[in-house]
Amino acid sequence: MIEKTQWVYKFGGKHTQGNAEMRDLLGGKGANLAEMARLGLPIPPGFTITTDMCRIYYENDKQLPESLEEQVQNALDTMAQETGCVFGDDDNPLIVSVRSGSRASMPGMMDTVLNLGLNDINVHSLAKKSLDKRFAFDTYRRFIQMYSNVVLNVHSDCFEKILEEHREANGYYEDSDFTADNWHEIITLYKKIIREKTDHDFPQNPKDQLWRAIHAVFASWQNDRAIIYRRLNDVPNEWGTAVNVQSMVFGNMGNTSMTGVCFTRNPSTGEKHFYGEYLVNAQGEDVVAGIRTPHNISKAGREKQGDKRPSMEENMPDVYAELKSLMHRLETHYKDMQDIEFTVQKGTLYLLQTRSGKRTALAALNIAKDMYDENLISKNEALMRIAPNALKQLLHPRLHPDAKKELLAKALPASPGAVSGQIVLNAEDVVRLAADGQKAILVRVETSPEDIQGMNAAEGILTGRGGMTSHAAVVARGMGRTCVVGCSDMQIDFENMCVNFGNIQLKQGDYITLDGDNGLVLKGNLPTLPPDLSENFDWLMREVDKIRTVKVRTNAETPADTLIAKKFGAEGIGLCRTEHMFFSQERIIQMRQMILADNKEERCKALNALQPMQQQDFVEIFNIMEDLPVTIRLLDPPLHEFLPQNEAEIEALATISGHPIKHIKQRIEALHEFNPMLGHRGCRLAITFPEIYEMQVRAIFLAAIEVHRRTQKNITPEIMIPLVGLSEELSNLRKLVDTTAQSIFKQENIHLDYYVGTMIELPRAALCADELAQYADFLSFGTNDLTQTTFGISRDDAGSFLEYYQKNNIIKFDPFMTMDINGVGKLIEIACQKAKSVRPDIKLGICGEHGGDAASIEFCIKTGLDYVSCSPFRIPTAKLSATQTRIKHNM
Ligand code: PEP
Ligand code: MG
């Protein structure tokens, strides 16, 4: 059966077999090359080996079936017909590129080999045919360098060192300054290194070269950086990569040749103008790898950046006009912003790739809205174009206008936002510092895919080289990290671990601030302002509010957070964690007195002192939320969290409370628990010390009455009992709430509506939700604890092994970030169904972190929850995600 399957799909001219619909099988690059060929665009011919073959490769211990050879040879024969060049021929060689291409674009994560098929003999034929010996030998040395790195695992530093020595010895600035003789000499040295490092001569047989390169590209699907990238971007491991073999066109054939990357709209801001970069007499890798800083493609772009070097528009106006018209055609065809790679060989334009361009959230929003206005896409399509989890990028801070700016350098604004952090020169240190809660800016000459974890952990990224399409720029934009690239005024001194900006020297650990909107590098840790949301953002929020039905609430306990949440359109508070209100200086002392109390009377005394403060908190929150629902969760964490942590605090408490130090230490000892998360916390505290919840309930109702009397708004508190596992716990505490409420209503001669509900944080609570529902007006899924208790994995300690689990595919994602639908989700489904069976009108919500995660929200909506609740800055994400679920599933 395997023999009959088509593994190879040709593209180019009349031989094209694929199309854009086939991206699962051909990968994005392969499918789009086929589509462009069908559109009659100038595409060098080639073929794609399918992603199915990648799966077979891994299933068969990295072996490829023999039948593939026949299909590849057939495709090479077709390329010979199209190009007039023959692969492996000594006199008229066909030179090819071998490139990866998966279903989702994974920029720079997998391997590529360019200029393949050259050897010591046919390089002379290439020189003769092109009448350019320099070009032929430059191409051969590029091939040797890249092939040796990718296929033979010889580190590129070995080659760079040789290049650097020659550059210095000859006083050259750019690689295009090298002569044919220089390259010849360098090739001899390269080959010597390869012999030393691999014990073999550089392979001369083009077929051998090709098969080994195909193997290497398939193998690169499982390299570390590809695995990490997939994890960070939710790309399934099973997808595999295709391999694209394509006839080379050469951007390094002199001054009428060039290579570049362009976008049909600005990928950083979304503005509607062509945007791109190019390099004369170069190959694609030179642009992407950031080895030379490219020129701007358009005159307007060049002038905006204050770049003196000629744009492509000025340099080759005819080719520029042709490129512009092809870009327009591609955008109209795909109805999306395109990221296009092109090469000009001696004045003739070729397209090598088109794909939907990666963009910042700001660009995604602006492009979606503009394309809707231009009647290119429908409103629903526009709403589906914006990734909900990326929306938080829009909420990036900006530099405070009063910030004292000391400019260190100006470079390219690759990804927006204003961030400060310590200068850190390598990715591992960034990861370490971030784990320690410290802010770092990753500063590199250029980033490479190995830096990806450091880039993710950094506040921002600054590179010395590279343009807007360099690895750093593309990856940072995708991640939503602030990024400034191509900072040529910066010199990194790795020996002394410092960075020089002109004559200002900063050490690793010193603070800098990046302004990613304007490409500024500034000295120090500067103040920022919250983001200023645009008209398009308001449009988006208005439209999503028209479509979605699930309510979006917020998790907030301070007036500041509540205000931000209200501004983002929170439709209530889904979780107000009251314990956070006890940590201020004055309150913690009363709290500690309460915990130290030897008897109820003393405990009540301390609680009575806390009550007015707690009441004031609730007054402020009710005031802000007005008649929107507010769910207040009664005290949850174990008491020891409030106790003094060191000798000085113990002494201070002894002085204030009059308790002897020894007594305090005994009490700390007595409260110590081996598993505090599973210990005396949540409702268990109130079952044993009911006076704690009594005080909180009094404070809630007195506050509600006060605000109601002043504003005449309907204040309807929702009181939530945490960590319930037994219906008896809930029935007891519900009685406590009801009795306390009634006594206050009587005393104040008023009645307010209120609800009492519980969190579902334990598997038992989920499985017995029907029993709990008898005493609950609402259930709110506390999926942080529910994940912890379902997996038996501590939410505070999981980091030590979850990372390893993810890397090794034991688990696909962090279940504390994205809901585990199969386990935790199943419990939620059971709970919903059981609760509704006894109480059809019970209100259901979620207030764990998953309430702000797009994929988890989709599940919540499908399961029939009435609301999701998330931190204020995730409200736009939650609203958009709810809307997209409705559009996608027509629900
Ligand atoms: C939860 O457990 O999901 C929850 C929201 O409560 P907390 O995070 O405060 O434990
Ligand atoms: Mg909890």
Quote the pLDDT of residue 800.
Answer: 66
- Give backbone dihedrals phi and psi of 373, rounded to 5 degrees, phi first: -65, -30
Q: How far is the CA of 829 from the centre of ligand 1 (A)?
A: 19
Quote the pLDDT of residue 198.
Answer: 95
Is 782 a pocket residue for ligand 1 (Cβ < 6 Å)? yes
- Give me the residues paired with residue 493 across strands: 498
Residue 726 burial (C-beta neighbours within 10 Å; 0-12, 13-18, 19+): middle
**Would you call 847 a catalytic residue per the annotation?**
yes
Radius of gyration of the chain (CA): 32
| CB atoms near residue 696 (< 10 Å) | 26
Quote the pLDDT of residue 2.
Answer: 41
Look at residues 727, 728, 729, 708 and name the one whose alpha carbon lies nearest to residue 717: 708
Quote the pLDDT of residue 1.
Answer: 39
Look at residues 363, 357, 360 and name the one whose alpha carbon lies nearest to residue 339: 357
User: Which residue has a Cα nearest atom 10 of ligand 1?
Assistant: 785
Q: How far is the CA of 580 from the centre of ligand 1 (A)?
A: 12
Q: Which residues, chain by chain, have CB under 5 Å from ion ligand 2? A: 761, 782, 785
Q: How far is the CA of 356 from the centre of ligand 2 (A)?
A: 41
Sequence-distant (6+) residues with CB within 8 A of 338 are 263, 264, 327, 330, 331, 354, 355, 356, 357
**Would you call 471 a catalytic residue per the annotation?**
yes
Taking only the tens place, the pLDDT of each residue in 606-637 is 999 999 999 999 999 999 999 999 999 999 98
Give the predicted TM-score (pTM) of the model.
0.79
Helix (H) / strand (E) containing 506: strand 504-507
Is 682 a pocket residue for ligand 1 (Cβ < 6 Å)? no
Is 292 a pocket residue for ligand 1 (Cβ < 6 Å)? no
Q: Which position among 54, 85, 768, 847 bears the catalytic label? A: 847
Three-state SS string over 633-696 comes to ECCCCCHHHHCCCCHHHHHHHHHHHCCCHHHHHHHHHHHCCCCHHHCCCCHHHHHHCHHHHHHH
How far apart CA 810 and CA 791 sit, in angstroms, is 14
Which atom of ligand 1 lies nearest, measured to the CA of 579? Answer: 9
Q: How far is the CA of 783 from the centre of ligand 2 (A)?
A: 7
Which atom of ligand 1 lies nearest, measured to the CA of 849? Answer: 3
Residue 169 burial (C-beta neighbours within 10 Å; 0-12, 13-18, 19+): exposed
Which atom of ligand 1 lies nearest, measured to the CA of 781? Answer: 3
Q: Which position among 295, 396, 471, 850 bears the catalytic label? A: 471
| CB atoms near residue 12 (< 10 Å) | 23
Quote the pLDDT of residue 291.
Answer: 62
Taking only the tens place, the pLDDT of each residue in 774-785 is 999 999 999 999
Mean pLDDT, each 10-residue run in order, the chain (891 residues): 77 94 96 97 97 96 94 97 95 96 89 96 95 95 95 90 89 84 95 95 97 97 88 85 97 93 91 92 76 86 87 96 96 96 96 92 93 97 92 80 88 86 95 92 84 89 79 72 89 93 95 91 90 86 95 90 89 92 79 89 92 95 96 93 83 88 90 89 96 97 98 96 98 98 98 98 98 98 95 80 81 87 98 98 95 93 96 90 93 65
Residue bearing tokens 């995730």: 874
Ligand nearest to the CA of 849: 1
Is 847 a pocket residue for ligand 1 (Cβ < 6 Å)? yes
Is 412 a pocket residue for ligand 1 (Cβ < 6 Å)? no
Which atom of ligand 1 lies nearest, measured to the CA of 788? Answer: 2
DSSP-derived secondary structure letter, 60: T
- Give me the residues paired with residue 96 across strands: 116, 247
